[in-house]
Structure 1
Amino acid sequence: MPRTTKPSRRRERLLALLLLALVLFSPPLVMIADRPLGGGLSALPLYLLLAWALVIGLAAWLLEGGPREEDQG
């Protein structure tokens, strides 16, 4: 199939996902999440798990979300 000259939005979305991941794992946000919960436990492991799951879920959704825009006529 001939390749179109229309730029792919997938690359832009993946770049936005990378920037989101950088913000989520930046030290100021991680330090905010590092607060004690009830019983002396920290919220940091829960924050890291949820942020990582969000990044992985969005990446899977973007990469497996159907046919590429470049391939559509």
Structure 2
Amino acid sequence: MVNRTLWAQRLVALFLLGCLLFSYPLLALFDGGGEVFGIPRLFAYLFGAWALLIVSMILVIERSKR
């Protein structure tokens, strides 16, 4: 039961991190000109943040199965 509660708390924390990463103030920082490997900075940031959240969720869920 304790492990399930910890798992749920970590997923809620990841949700809040996602809300923070995709909030307007942070998106506005990357909205300026410039490119990363030929991709606009905003799109690179969005893809990177999205990938980070997915990998983090996979780690939390896989860790809870042990």
Q: TM-score range by the shorter chain?
A: 0.7 to 0.9
For normalisation by structure 2, the TM-score amounts to 0.81
Instruction: Indicate the residue corresponding to 1:24 in structure 2.
Output: 21
- Mean Cα deviation higher: 58-67 or 16-25: 58-67
The alignment covers a number of residue pairs equal to 62
Moved segments of 4+, more than 4 Å: none
Structure with more strand by fraction: 2
Greater RCO structure (CA 8 Å; 6+ sep): 1
Q: Counterpart in 1 of 2:46?
A: 48
* Distance in 1, Cα, partners of 2:64 & 2:15: 20
Cα distance between partner residues in 2 of 1:15 and 1:42:
30
**Runs of 5+ unmatched residues, structure 1:** 69-73
Uncovered stretches (5+) of structure 2, i.e. residues with no partner: none
Point out the structure with max Rg over C-alpha. 1
If each structure's helix is expressed as a fraction of its own residues, which one has the higher value? 2
The normalised TM-score by structure 1 is 0.74
Mapped to 2, the partners of 1:57 and 1:67 lie a distance apart of 16
Percent identity, aligned pairs only? 35
